[in-house]
Amino acid sequence: MKRIFDALFSATALVLLTPLLLLIAAVVAAESRGGAFYQQERIGRHGVPFRLHKFRSMHVHRDGAQVTLGNSDPRITSVGRVLRKYKLDEFPQLWNVVKGDMSLVGPRPEVAEYVDLYTDEMREVLHVRPGLTDPASIAGFDEGERLEAAADPEKHYREVIMPEKVKQQLAYVRSATFGSDIRIIARTLFRIFKR
């Protein structure tokens, strides 16, 4: 039931949002070089890598950390700041959901570098499809600001934020129901519109 709901909801959303998606793509492509879309390898269900899709929100060919520091991160474009604030850069991941790489609700997928640091218990989050949102995503809306305030953002992410996130993700994986997924989607939308 979850997979059917994911596919139908995401396919419908992509169709209905097509004018908005085309507008965003055009604005992103016009603002800076590099095209409208960005792909990054993430680790999915059962540890299988997949290509996660986003609207590009950063300048291309700029070195930097895997983590993104709040709005002061110089890699973020002007349009990218708006997209990231309202999570609009995540819309292309609806295609990942249609394809079956992701679910609407599930642990947010990480890059291999961080998954390699998981303990055996933490790897339990890889038993399900990663998602567009989850309780840890809602709680972590201020993650960029927390990293920005840290003396060593990469270390702070690895040692503080990532364990916090995975703990919440484990709680989700162990107790998720269709009803709880609907509530998480509603809470996510409320949190975005609250901005």
SS3 59: coil
Q: pLDDT, tens digit, for every residue of 113-132?
A: 999 999 999 999 999 999 99
**Contact status, residue 84 vs residue 57, Cβ threshold 8 Å:** yes
- Whether 160 has a pLDDT exceeding 90, the answer reads yes
Q: How far apart are CA 110 and CA 157, in angstroms?
A: 12
Q: How confident is the model at residue 105 (pLDDT cuts 50, 70, 90)?
A: very high
Strands 131-133 and 49-55: unpaired
Q: Is the pLDDT of residue 96 over 90?
A: yes
Checking if the pLDDT of 20 tops 80, the result is yes
**182 has pLDDT over 80:** yes
DSSP class per residue in 140-173: TTTHHHHHHHSSSHHHHIIIIIHHHHHHHHHHHH
pLDDT score of 64: 57
Residue 103 pLDDT greater than 60, yes or no: yes
Predicted confidence (pLDDT) at residue 55 exceeds the cutoff of 90? yes
Q: What does the mean pLDDT of the chain come to? A: 92
Dist CA 43 CA 129 (whole Å): 10
Mean pLDDT of 50-68: 80
How many CB atoms are located within 10 Å of the residue 67 CB? 20
Task: Indicate if the pLDDT at residue 41 is higher than 60.
Answer: yes
DSSP 58: B
Helical packing angle, 78-85 and 18-31, nearest 10°: 150
H or E element that contains 45 = none
Per-residue tokens: 78: 């002007």
Domain ranges of the chain: 2-194
CA atoms of 102 and 44, how far apart (whole Å): 8
Q: Are 57 and 82 in contact (CB under 8 A)?
A: no
For 68-118, the DSSP string reads --TTT-TTB-HHHHHHHHTTGGGTTHHHHHHHTS-EEESPPP--HHHHTT-
Q: Answer whether residue 5 shows pLDDT above 70.
A: yes
Residue appearing with tokens 């986003």: 54
